Amino acid sequence: MSEFVDRIAQNLARVREAMARAAERSGRTADQVRLVAVTKYVGVAEAEALLAAGCCDLGESRPQELWRKAEQLAGRPVRWHLIGHLQRNKAARSIPWVNLLHSGDSLRLLEAANQAAARGQRVVEVLLEVNVSGDASKHGFAADQLSEALSAAPNWSHLRVCGLMAMAGWGTTPAEARRDFVRLRELRDRLQPDLPPGVSLEHLSMGMSGDFVEAIEEGATLVRVGSALFEGIDA
């Protein structure tokens, strides 16, 4: 039983070490890049092992799975990240659990998220998801829709837009993924000079198990890592 707990702690230490080295190469310190541990492949016991090992930022890609785990871990010091597509009709039930919504992928969704946050009298941090790879199957704003989306942000009284999120194209090598990460960073740099009041683009959420090193080297402030944390564990 405690075997997987130790294994998760070791995997976590290895990922954190690689993150710290990549942060250094990008001229930053380890504490300037946050790890979001993606628990979608595992159960609540493995999520608790992460908490015990000191990792409190947990991410889920499916709303139902977020509800399930968040309800079971209610009262524990978890910061929940929703990283996958959220349908508008699930916003009301999801938003109360969410600390950072990475997948702000349409104006209609963001309006629904804002209403849900307002009902709970909370301000929820959100990222705008950008379809940098142009995959037709991917969610997210096209690069040329972003300035319009940003200009709508002041209408969302209970959301705080604080950055951009992207996924590299399907089946890309780390080198190809790096090009997508560079695109997201350059897009941020271009939008940065005229942001509406209250909006920041300080965060870039990019990089997963196979390419988080490249993502950090290119400026990620948040990486979303799942499988690398659960190597050697049959969940």
Ligand X SMILES: *Cc1c(COP(=O)(O)O)cnc(C)c1O
- Residue in 8, 100, 204, 208 binding ligand X, rule: CB under 6 A: 208
Q: Quick one: 120 or 134, whose CB is closer to ligand X?
A: 134
177 forms part of the interface with ligand X (CB under 6 A):
no
Task: Report the nearest approach of ligand X to the CB of residue 40 (Å).
Answer: 5
Task: Report the nearest approach of ligand X to the CB of residue 226 (Å).
Answer: 3
**Interface with ligand X in residues 13-52 (CB under 6 A):** 38, 40
**Interface with ligand X in residues 75-104 (CB under 6 A):** 83-84
Reading the block at residue 174, the tokens are: 């780390």
- Residue in 39, 61, 114, 133 binding ligand X, rule: CB under 6 A: 61
**Interface with ligand X in residues 151-170 (CB under 6 A):** 167
139 forms part of the interface with ligand X (CB under 6 A):
no
Q: Quick one: 112 or 215, whose CB is closer to ligand X?
A: 215
Position of tokens 């908490």? 51
Distance from C-alpha of 90 to C-alpha of 36, rounded to nearest angstrom: 22
* 29 burial type by CB count under 10 A (0-12 exposed, 13-18 middle, 19+ buried): exposed
227 forms part of the interface with ligand X (CB under 6 A):
yes
Q: Quick one: 34 or 224, whose CB is closer to ligand X?
A: 224
Distance from C-alpha of 103 to C-alpha of 15, rounded to nearest angstrom: 23
Please work out the total of residues on this chain that contact ligand X, with binding judged by CB under 6 A.
14
209 forms part of the interface with ligand X (CB under 6 A):
yes
79 bridge partner residues? 57
Distance from C-alpha of 68 to C-alpha of 177, rounded to nearest angstrom: 32
Stretch that binds ligand X, among 21-29, 115-123, 172-180, 223-231 (CB under 6 A): 223-231
Task: Report the nearest approach of ligand X to the CB of residue 74 (Å).
Answer: 23
> Which residues of this chain interact with ligand X, rule CB under 6 A?
38, 40, 61, 83-84, 167, 208-210, 224-228
